[in-house]
Amino acid sequence: MRLLQRYLLAEFASPGIFALIGLTLVLMLGNLVQLADLVISKGVGIGQVARLFFYLVPYLLTFSLPMAVLVGTLLAFGRLSADNEITAMRASGVSLIRLFRPILTIGFLLSVLSIFLNDQILPKAHFASRKLLAQIGVKNPTAYLEAGTFIRAFEGYILFIYDIRNHELFNVRIYQIQGEKPTRTLVAKRGEFIPIPERNIVKLKLMDGMSDEPNPRDPTNIYKLNFQTYYLTLNLSQQIQKNQIQKKPKDMTLAELKQEAASLEASGVSAAPIRAEFHRKIALAFANFFLALIGFPLALLTHRGERSIGFALALGVFAVYYILLALGDALAIRGDLAAPLAVWFPNGLVGALGLLLIQKIARV
C-alpha cells in the first residue's frame, strides 16, 4: 500500500510543482510591466524594484498554490483514469478513499502552511512594500504618482497631470483648496519635481503657465497672472508617513485583525471589513484542501489524461471559485451577510459538490 501511495504522490507532485512554478511566473509577468516602467520611465533603482518584486511573491502564492493543487489532482488522476489504472486498482480491492487519502492529506497540510503564509508572511510583505513605495515617493515623486488621474496626495492641493515622462511633467493643472475662498487654479505646460527628503518637502517647479491670483484690494476678485517659472512647496512625505504608520487590514496578522475588530466594535463602529479580511485569510488558505476534494472526482468523471483539458478544467473551476469568494467578500464587507457565512460559502459549496461526486463514483 505504501508503494501505491508513493506512486500516487509522484503522479500528483510532478504536474503540481510544474503548475505552481508556471502559474506563479505567469502572475509575475502581469506585474513585471509595471515594475519595469518604474525603472525605465521613472528612474527608480533596480534594487528597490527587485525588493518590490520579492514582496509580491507571497501574495501571488496565495492564488497559485491552490490552483496548482487543483491542476496536480486533475492531471494525476485524469491520466490514471484514462489509462484504466484506477479501474485496475479498484478491481484489486483498493477503495476510492484510500486512493485519494494521500492527496487529501497533502491538500490539508498545504492549507495549514497557507494559514501561516497568509497570517505572518503576507501581511509583513505587503506592509514592507507599502513602506518601500512611500520611501520611493519621497525621493522620486513621479514614481509615486500616476498620470491621467486626480492626485490628492498633497495636503491642500489636487493635481491633474496629463503626462509624466521620467522626471518631467506635461500639461499640469493644480487646484489649491482655500476653504471659504475660491479655489485657486494653476496651469502649466511643463513641470518638474525637486525632492528634498532631508527637509521633508517636495518642490514643484512649474514652467510656462498661468495662475489665479487674488486682487490685493479685493481678495474675492481673481485675476490671471502669466509666469515663466513658478515654485510650489508641497508636503508629500507627511501624507506618506501617515500611511506608513497606519496598517491596512491586508497588513495585519490574524491576531491584529481580531484585536482591531474588537476595538472598533467596542467604540460602536462596524468591524465588517475587518471580520471579512480575517475569515478571507483562513478561507483562501483552505482552498488547497477543498479544491483537491473536488478535483479528484472531476478527474475520474472526465476520464481524460490530456494536460490541456486538465488545465482548462482547473482554470474554469478556480475562476468560479474565486468569483464566488470575491462576491462573498464584498457582501461581508458591506455587512449584508455575516463574514463566516459569506466568505466560507465557496469552500462549503466546493466541498459539498466534491463529496456528492465521490459518493456517485463510489456507487458505480
Residue 202 inside a domain? The answer is: yes
What pLDDT score does 321 carry?
Answer: 93
Other CB atoms within 10 Å distance of the CB of residue 105: 14
Q: Are residues 356 and 289 in the same domain?
A: yes
Range of the domain at 225: 156-234
pLDDT < 50: residue spans in the chain:
242-245
Cell numbers describing residue 185: 487654479
Other CB atoms within 10 Å distance of the CB of residue 97: 10
Q: Whole-structure pTM over 0.85, yes or no? A: no
Cell numbers describing residue 121: 508572511
For residue 149, give the DSSP letter.
S
For residues 364 and 361, what is the distance between their CA atoms, to the nearest angstrom?
5
Q: Are residues 258 and 134 in the same domain?
A: yes
Paired residues of 227 in beta bridges: 209
Q: Are residues 116 and 160 in the same domain?
A: no
Residue 79 inside a domain? The answer is: yes
Are 210 and 229 in contact, with CB atoms under 8 Å apart? no
Q: Are residues 59 and 124 in the same domain?
A: yes
Q: How many domains does the chain have?
A: 2
Residue 67 inside a domain? The answer is: yes
Q: Are residues 260 and 130 in the same domain?
A: yes
Mean pLDDT of the chain: 80
User: Could you say which of 187, 213, 234 is where a domain stops?
Assistant: 234
Residues 206-231: pLDDT tens digits?
899 888 776 656 666 667 788 888 88
Are 280 and 58 in contact, with CB atoms under 8 Å apart? no
Residues 76-128: pLDDT tens digits?
888 877 777 777 777 777 777 777 888 889 999 999 999 999 999 999 998 88
Write out the E strands in the chain. 150-151, 157-165, 168-176, 184-196, 201-214, 222-234
For residues 12 and 149, what is the distance between their CA atoms, to the nearest angstrom?
47
Residue 298 inside a domain? The answer is: yes
Residue 18 inside a domain? The answer is: yes
Q: Are residues 123 and 261 in the same domain?
A: yes
CA angle 225, 226, 227 (to 5 degrees): 120
